[in-house]
């Protein structure tokens, strides 16, 4: 691993737990308008106050919110691809629109890309991930790749929805391994809904796997439970957006996630703290 990557990954992951709490607010490019996402500066403040290790934003929003993370322990991760949307013909027809060099200039400690398998554009997505990984290697920039199974795409691009897991746990392992094989430093993906099958995903993925939370579901206890299960199975962190900034106590949710991820707190403990 290059010196640059090692330094930046050291800022993204907690030095003691070796895990990450990532708060995402990169949704407005690909999902219908959500009023809770209107004030990105406030959401960034919630993340910083709650102790998040990083925020994930698009380049334009990075220019608006960056002052909120200056001098804090919260790093900047930049989404550098896009194109597909919840109202377009292809949810995952994503291309790189922000060069890695520009992400460096904006102060990013990592970049984020998206991939999938079994979709019409899978070859294009694989080429994009591999090519971007090569460029990231040249610049010492870590790359996270969000890998989504085909059967859950519509769900993932919803504002709010009932909690749902992918139908085929083996596909999550395939997706995670493919991202790692293509050069991703971190994989962001779904939980399987079952500790046994999720451990198999973690075992098959040779790079850190950060579990995503999906659409806002209004089920805080279930949400914390699957995060706890994922961490206990070996996940290296959690990526949460809608389940934080649609909640009436966003700072408390971020703090609770940090307690679970970094301190191995129980679900019962954190629920008492946010009520």
**pLDDT tens digits, one per residue of 166-198:** 888 999 999 999 999 999 999 999 999 999 999
DSSP type of residue 216: B
Rg, C-alpha atoms of the chain: 17
Q: Over 90: is that where the pLDDT of 92 sits? A: no
Band of residue 3 on the pLDDT scale cut at 50, 70, 90: very high
For the cut 80, the answer to whether the pLDDT of residue 142 exceeds it is yes
CATH code assigned at 262: 3.20.20.70
**pLDDT given for residue 219 in this prediction:** 85
- pLDDT of the residue at 266: 97
Domain that holds residue 256: 3-274
pLDDT in tens, 59-83: 999 999 999 999 999 999 999 998 8
Between CA 143 and CA 148, with CA 147 as vertex, the angle to 5 degrees is 155
What average pLDDT does range 133-143 have in this prediction? 98
- Answer yes or no: is pLDDT of 103 > 80: yes
Q: What is the structure's pLDDT at 86?
A: 59
* Distance, CA of 246 to CA of 242 (rounded, Å): 6
Residue 17 pLDDT grade (very low, low, confident, very high; cuts 50, 70, 90): very high
Flag whether pLDDT at 91 surpasses 80.
no
Q: What is the dihedral of CA 113, 118, 121, 122, to 10 degrees?
A: 50
Q: Decide if pLDDT at 160 tops 70.
A: no
Give me the percent of the chain exceeding a pLDDT of 90: 77
Alpha carbon distance 180, 183 (integer Å): 5
Residue 19 has pLDDT above 70, yes or no: yes
Total domains present in the chain: 1
What does the pLDDT look like over 240-262, one tens digit per residue?
Answer: 999 998 999 999 999 999 999 99
Cα-based angle 235, 12, 171 (whole degrees, multiple of 5): 35
Model confidence over 207-239: pLDDT tens digits? 999 999 887 778 899 999 999 999 999 999 999
Q: What is the chain's mean pLDDT, rounded? A: 92
């Amino acid at each position: 691993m290059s010196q640059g990557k090692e330094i930046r990954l050291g800022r993204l992951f907690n030095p003691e737990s070796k895990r990450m709490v990532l708060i995402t607010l990169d949704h407005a490019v690909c999902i219908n308008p959500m009023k809770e996402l209107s004030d990105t500066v406030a959401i960034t403040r919630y993340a910083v106050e709650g102790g998040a290790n990083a925020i994930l934003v698009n380049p334009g929003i990075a220019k608006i919110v960056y002052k909120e993370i200056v001098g804090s322990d919260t790093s900047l991760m930049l989404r550098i691809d896009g194109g597909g949307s919840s109202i377009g013909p292809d949810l995952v027809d994503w291309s790189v629109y922000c060069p890695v060099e520009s992400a460096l200039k904006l102060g990013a400690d990592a970049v984020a890309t998206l991939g999938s398998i079994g979709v019409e554009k899978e070859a294009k997505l694989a080429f994009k991930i591999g090519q971007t990984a090569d460029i990231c290697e040249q610049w010492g920039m870590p790359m996270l790749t969000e890998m989504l199974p085909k059967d859950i795409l519509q769900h993932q691009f919803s504002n709010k929805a009932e909690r749902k897991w992918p139908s085929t746990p083996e596909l999550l392992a395939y997706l995670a391994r493919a991202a790692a094989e293509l050069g991703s430093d971190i994989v962001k993906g779904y939980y399987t809904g079952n500790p046994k099958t999720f451990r198999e995903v973690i075992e098959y993925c040779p790079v850190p796997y950060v579990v995503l939370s999906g659409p806002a579901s209004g089920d805080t206890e279930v949400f914390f439970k699957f995060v706890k299960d994922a961490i206990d199975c070996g996940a290296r962190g959690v990526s949460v957006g809608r389940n934080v900034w649609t909640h009436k106590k966003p700072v408390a949710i971020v703090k609770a996630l940090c307690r679970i991820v970094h301190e191995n707190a129980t679900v019962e403990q954190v629920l008492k703290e946010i009520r």
